Amino acid sequence: MISATRKWIFLKISGALLVPLMIWFASNLTMIYEKEYINVINFFTNPLNKFLFSAFIIIAYFFSALSISEVFEDYITNEKIKNVANKLLYISAVAIPLITIILLNIL
């Protein structure tokens, strides 16, 4: 399979997975927005909410990394700069969700 086709398929799948997770997150965020600190902590210590939020963060960063990578491919002509930008993007797309999930599990 061609790399561009694989990337397009991953974009479509991750976008489709993000829709229900975003609806879940937005609806729950509106419920806990004006609550006290302990209610927010209770929300994020619930195993189901912790799992769904972790999946949301991972898929969102995966989707954004693929999307931004396409922008790099289209607008950066220097191959060295493009490769460095893509590598930094992918490292941050792994590191940020990983740090977030580790900190979430400390709660």
Token pair recorded at residue 86? 């893509």
Instruction: Choose the CATH number for 3-106 among 1.20.1300.10, 3.40.50.720, 3.30.565.10, 1.20.1260.120.
Output: 1.20.1300.10
In the structure, what pLDDT confidence band is assigned to residue 106 with cuts at 50, 70 and 90?
A: confident
| SS3 assignment for 68-88 | HHHHHHHHCCCHHHHHHHHHH
Confidence check: pLDDT of 85 > 80: yes
In the structure, what pLDDT confidence band is assigned to residue 66 with cuts at 50, 70 and 90?
A: very high
Domain coordinates in residue numbering, the chain: 3-106
Confidence check: pLDDT of 107 > 70: no
Q: How much is the average pLDDT of 39-43?
A: 90
pTM of the model: 0.86
